[in-house]
Amino acid sequence: MGNPVKPRLALLALPFLLVACGGKPSAPTVEALVGQAREKEPDENVEKDPLLSEAKIAHVVVPEAFITAATPAENVDSPASWRAADGSRWLIATAKDTHRLVVYDGSTGKQLRTVSGPGNALGQMQRPNGIAVIDDLVLVVERDNRRVQVFQLPDFTPLLAFGTEALKQPYGLWVRPQKDAYEVIVSDNYMSPQNEDAPPPLAELGQRFKRYHLQRAEGGWKATLAGTFGDTGEAGAIRIAESVFGDAANDRLLLAEEDVAVGTRLREYGLDGKYRGRDIGADLFKAQAEGMALAQCAGGTGYWIATDQFKDRSVFHVFDRATLAYKGAFAGNKTANTDGVWLDQTADARFPQGAFYAVDDDQAVAAFDWRDIAKALSLPECRTE
């Protein structure tokens, strides 16, 4: 499937109309975007919205520490966080419909600023989706620009955009440090050339994930495609791909299979990109497996947190880091329809043992105090590595 993603006409029409009328082209305003019909993602093609109120999933309720002010026009997708030099915690979220990043105070939820706007130049975005923060870098997947863009904190200076030569419909990513470089794994949810709402045949899923090598170069940064992977067998293939997260200490990648038709769950791959023949949560996920995070505790212990995306309230399943044994599930009082999540294990006065962030219904980000999660599920203290 070599064809680029079809243009999103609803978002591109306004500048062209202004040109035709003799006015100066300008980006769509937030207000203009509010009334537009929101396009469905490939993983939203279900006959009936799944509801936690109708599902029989044992879980505990953990009250949110805060939920940011609702901004429906943004279409918030995924969060990440960063600690500034002064110790403050920034919560950064992608906004798909306004093509920018929204920055909040990670301890209070107060909105601080927005970054970027629509376009394909360096520093601009088109439908940002997955996001990751590592060291002083922010990496953002742009679905409609078919690339990953790298920004330098604290000023959000755009450094590099890469991937357009290979990515077709990217969504999520996971980043890990290597010697003098970073490895970036990007999920690529390209669909069937015959039907853009359906995944391609199994034989064409061998490039579901792209592996990039990101490093400093003379005068800046460079990224090179280091390989692709994806199982093409009935058992291990990822039909609908978005969330990917890894645990280098255990040579493990967990990939969310979001295709409800074959059974949504997590599939275990090795860091080499090979399916290990093991699925997690096939009998637990009742809505749709979504964003994941990893609590890394001392001695190689810890916990995986994986989202079950119910429309009324999301459920977060917790698994043992090493064995993947099930530890239980929690939900917030309100947080629903969650796409991306992020775990920040650094300590501050508000969150002495870290915070878990989860998108709330495409319009806000909820924060949970890790102490509240651990207490509710009777998890041992997680001393960080």
265 inside domain: yes
For residue 291, is pLDDT > 70? yes
Element holding 306 (H helix, E strand): strand 302-308
d(CA 279, CA 121): 40
* Cis-peptide into 154, omega within 30 deg: yes
Q: What is the pLDDT of residue 38?
A: 59
**Structural domain of 46:** 9-376
Within 10 angstroms of residue 216's Cβ, the number of other Cβ atoms is 11
For residue 2, is pLDDT > 60? no
Share of the chain above pLDDT 70, in %: 88
385 inside domain: no
Specify the 3-state DSSP secondary structure of 64.
Answer: coil
CB 242 within 8 A of CB 236: no
pLDDT digits (tens, 9 = 90+) for 184-208: 999 999 999 888 889 999 999 999 9
105 inside domain: yes
Q: What is the pLDDT of residue 43?
A: 59
Q: What is the pLDDT of residue 384?
A: 86
For residue 28, is pLDDT > 70? no
pLDDT digits (tens, 9 = 90+) for 33-73: 444 455 666 656 556 789 999 998 999 999 999 999 999 99
Spatial CB neighbours of 12, under 8 Å, sequence gap ≥ 6:
none
For residue 24, is pLDDT > 60? no
382 inside domain: no
The whole-chain average pLDDT of the chain stands at 90
For residue 13, is pLDDT > 70? no
For residue 301, is pLDDT > 80? yes
Share of the chain above pLDDT 90, in %: 84
For residue 7, is pLDDT > 70? no
Q: What is the pLDDT of residue 17?
A: 31
CATH number of residue 330's parent domain:
2.120.10.30
Residue 318, strand partner residues? 305, 328
Q: What is the pLDDT of residue 194?
A: 86
For residue 22, is pLDDT > 90? no
290-309: average pLDDT: 97
383 inside domain: no
CB 289 within 8 A of CB 281: yes
Q: What is the pLDDT of residue 34?
A: 45
57 inside domain: yes
Spatial CB neighbours of 380, under 8 Å, sequence gap ≥ 6:
301, 374
Q: What is the pLDDT of residue 8?
A: 33
For residue 4, is pLDDT > 50? no
90 inside domain: yes
E strand residue ranges, 157-301? 157-162, 170-178, 181-188, 209-217, 220-229, 241-247, 252-257, 265-269, 275-280, 289-296
15-31: average pLDDT: 40
336-342: average pLDDT: 98
| Alpha-carbon torsion angle 233, 235, 238, 243, nearest 10 | -150
Where do the H-state alpha helices sit in 89-182? Answer: none
Range name among 18-22, 158-162, 278-282 with the lowest pLDDT average: 18-22
261 inside domain: yes
Instruction: Tally the domains of the chain.
Output: 1
